[in-house]
Amino acid sequence: MLSPAKDARAAGALLEIPRPLRAFVRARESSLLFLGAAVGALAGIVVAVMSFAVNALHTLFFGLEPGQRLSAQTALDFATALTVPALGGLIFGLALIVVSRWRPAREIDPIEANALHGGRMPFIGSVNVGLQTVWSSGVGASVGLEAGYTQLASGIASWLGRAFHLRRRDLRTLVGCGSAGAIAGAFGAPIAGAFYGFELIIGSYSAASLAPVGLAALVGYLVANLFEPSALGIGTLYVSRVTGQDLAIASVVGLAGAAAGIVIMRGVALGETVLNRLRLPSFLRLALGGLIVGVLGWISPQVLSSGHGAIQVTALMERPLRDITLVFLLKALASIVSLGVGFRGGLFFSSLLLGAVGGRVFAGALTALWPGLALDQQIYSIIGMGALSVSVIGGPLTMTFIALETTGDFWLTTAVLIAVIISAQVTREAFGYSFATWRFHLRGETIRSAADVGWLRELTVRRMMRPDVRTVPSHTTVSRFRMVFPLGSASHVVALNEDKDYAGIVNVPEAHAVELDESTPIRDILHFPDTTLLPTMTAKEAVTVFENSEAEALAVVQSPEQRHVIGLLTEAHALRRYSEELERRRRELIGD
């Protein structure tokens, strides 16, 4: 993976924007509207091209007729079902070995880019992720394409924004435009796409980001619809009247959705842990995973790929409760295995399918136990879809608007909102992460959303310290020190030992106290000999050290082992810089 600086230069090499045009765009807020619309159009094209590529691979590998959906099939040939995912996984694993030598580090997704890197995403890496997602879904792995859509669209947006040298907040907004356009195009839901950009990619909503993100979502939807109208959506499901009873039961569906979502996310992590213990080479691991998915797909083709066809089948066809339950269990297992072995993709559409199927199972089981309820399974498909997907993906308003734009039924959307709120809150309290942020947690990152915390890591002690440190040998006498550093010349002076390493800090007013003997060496009045700051510490970490040590100023040393002094930082300056950055982010958040 390229460093942010190198990748910025690469972006400039790929697309050189004349300086006058860059200045014109940066000087006007309305320019972000045009860039957002352009990114939305590109996102719509990305959705159409990737979807076409996956369908072409399904036609080629599984022998489908043009226009057929893999997950809508009722049966597959046994040999085809097993060999295509297994060989596809083997080829994918071997290709990853080659790619890893070219790009040894992992890629940055839109949430991480906006949280930690100010919207900077490697363009080539995003293309790489898009291709991996297309291949994974194309060979039948149970992964969603939406992760690839948003990765590539946001990567293009970041590349375009860096070519225009956009400010940090504008670049983050443009990355949100890319994801919003992609989701709007994928689901035929521009409002849901816009809120996906706000809730999951930008991490906040502001008046300044409303217009560009909303326009990007609308344009993305229109462009994707030009290529294949409604074919990328989840279909409009039949719904009947929603009663007060349904609104009450929706809260129970929310609890069930949260529980199922947490189990699925835990399952992916557990699958990765188990496979890591087997110590298989990556290509054999992927081949084994493909074989398992192939067996599951032979039992029920609805578990293969993302599930666009299956969600329509399960919504429109009357099937026995046992069969629907089997689809739910097999799809959950296939998704866990696919992601656990290393296929590329996400859980967005898989969670929608699992939620729709799970909602039908819930309604059918409850009706069987209590026939007087007579629950409408179509209604609970939509409610379950929102409840489980918000647990896995996050974004309560996003999932609510998907239901609204899918059905056009406001009363049903009210029931979905109840389930979504409960599921999101329970997941937050009991688990604390969405699927994307849970993966960050497993890698050691602490971010829980796309809210911009990267500036905290960038505001380091090295950036805040004074490099012109006034020093004195620790054996200097008080009388000599008073002569060299009279009152008012400095507040703190760093003392060095015989090896010219840090020994402690001298408080100048204290050194001038009359009760001190002039022959006393200053080593006897040193403070904080064992407490220092490191240049890599963040402002927050530095403030914590100041609070714990109750120091007004601390020396900055090169490293814990090499105590060579490279700077001095006062608590007052650290707090002031920290407060200034907080205020700047607050102003950006409200659009000032």
Residues 260 and 388 sit within 8 Å (Cβ to Cβ): yes
What's residue 444's pLDDT? 66
Distance CA 335, CA 345 (A): 10
Of 424, 422, 420, 425, nearest to 404 by C-alpha is: 420
For each of the domains in the chain, give its residue range(s) and CATH number, in order of start.
Answer: 4-234 (1.10.3080.10), 244-442 (1.10.3080.10), 459-586 (3.10.580.10)
Residue 198 corresponds to which tokens in the numbers above?
């706000």
Strand 502-507 vs strand 565-570: parallel, antiparallel, or unpaired?
unpaired
Transcribe 497-516 into DSSP letters: -TTS-EEEEEEHHHHT-TTS
> At 350, which amino acid appears?
S
**CA–CA separation, 92 and 555 (whole Å):** 51
- The whole-angstrom separation of Cα 224 and Cα 413 is 25
**Cα separation, 253 vs 39, whole angstroms:** 37
Q: Are 225 and 185 in contact (CB under 8 A)?
A: yes
Give the pLDDT confidence of 542-572 residue by residue, as tens digits: 999 999 999 999 999 999 888 999 999 999 9
Q: What is the pLDDT of residue 375?
A: 83
Question: Residue-wise pLDDT tens for the chain (592 aa)?
Answer: 444 445 544 444 456 788 888 888 887 878 899 999 999 999 999 999 999 999 999 999 999 888 788 888 888 999 999 999 999 999 999 999 888 777 666 688 899 888 888 899 999 999 999 999 999 999 999 998 999 999 999 999 999 999 999 988 899 999 999 999 999 999 889 999 999 999 999 988 887 789 999 999 999 999 999 987 654 344 444 555 777 888 899 999 999 999 999 999 999 888 888 877 888 888 999 999 999 999 999 999 989 988 776 666 555 456 788 888 999 999 999 999 999 999 999 889 889 999 989 998 999 899 888 888 878 888 888 899 999 999 999 989 999 999 888 888 888 889 999 999 999 999 999 998 888 887 777 776 667 777 767 777 778 999 999 998 999 999 999 889 999 999 888 889 999 999 899 999 999 988 887 677 778 888 888 999 999 999 999 888 899 999 999 999 999 999 988 899 999 999 999 988 888 887 777 776 666 5
Q: Is 78 helix (H, G, I), strand (E, B) or coil?
A: helix
| The predicted structure's pLDDT at residue 12 | 43
In the three-class reduction of DSSP (H, G, I as helix; E, B as strand; rest coil), residue 566 is classed as strand
From residue 534, how far is each of 162, 492, 494, 569 by CA, in Å? 31, 18, 15, 10
Look up residue 535 and give its amino acid: P
Give the DSSP H or E segment for 103.
none
Which residue is listed with tokens 């344009």? 219
AA identity, residue 131: L
Q: What angle do the packed helices 244-278 and 321-341 form, to 10 degrees?
A: 40
- Amino acid identity of residue 512, one-letter, is H
Q: Which of 137, 157, 161 is nearest to 147 (CA)?
A: 137
Look at the block and give the residue holding tokens 């999932």.
Answer: 399
pLDDT score, position 230: 56
What is the DSSP track for 456-497?
Answer: HHHSBHHHHSBS---EEETT-BHHHHHHHS-TTS-SEEEEE-
What local confidence, expressed as pLDDT, does residue 494 receive?
A: 94
Do residues 179 and 199 touch, judged by C-beta distance below 8 A? no
CB 484 within 8 A of CB 472: yes
Q: What is the pLDDT of residue 1?
A: 43
Scanning 346-376, the segments in alpha helix (DSSP H) are 348-369
What is the C-alpha to C-alpha distance for residues 570 and 322, in angstroms, rounded to an integer?
68
Predicted confidence at residue 312, as pLDDT, reads: 63
Strands laid side by side in the 471-473 sheet? 471-473, 492-496, 502-507
Angle, helix 244-278 to helix 410-430, in steps of 10 degrees: 40
Strands (E), 218-344: none
pLDDT at position 275, please? 79
Q: Cα(286)–Cα(275) distance, rounded to whole angstroms?
A: 10
The overall longest dimension of the chain from CA atoms, in Å, is 97
Contact status, residue 37 vs residue 216, Cβ threshold 8 Å:
yes
Alpha-carbon distance of 585 to 592, in angstroms, equals: 10
- The closest alpha carbon to 110, from 33, 199, 23, belongs to 199
Q: What angle (nearest 5°) sits at the alpha carbon of residue 295, between those of residues 293 and 300?
A: 90
Nearest CA to 324 among 305, 333, 311? 311
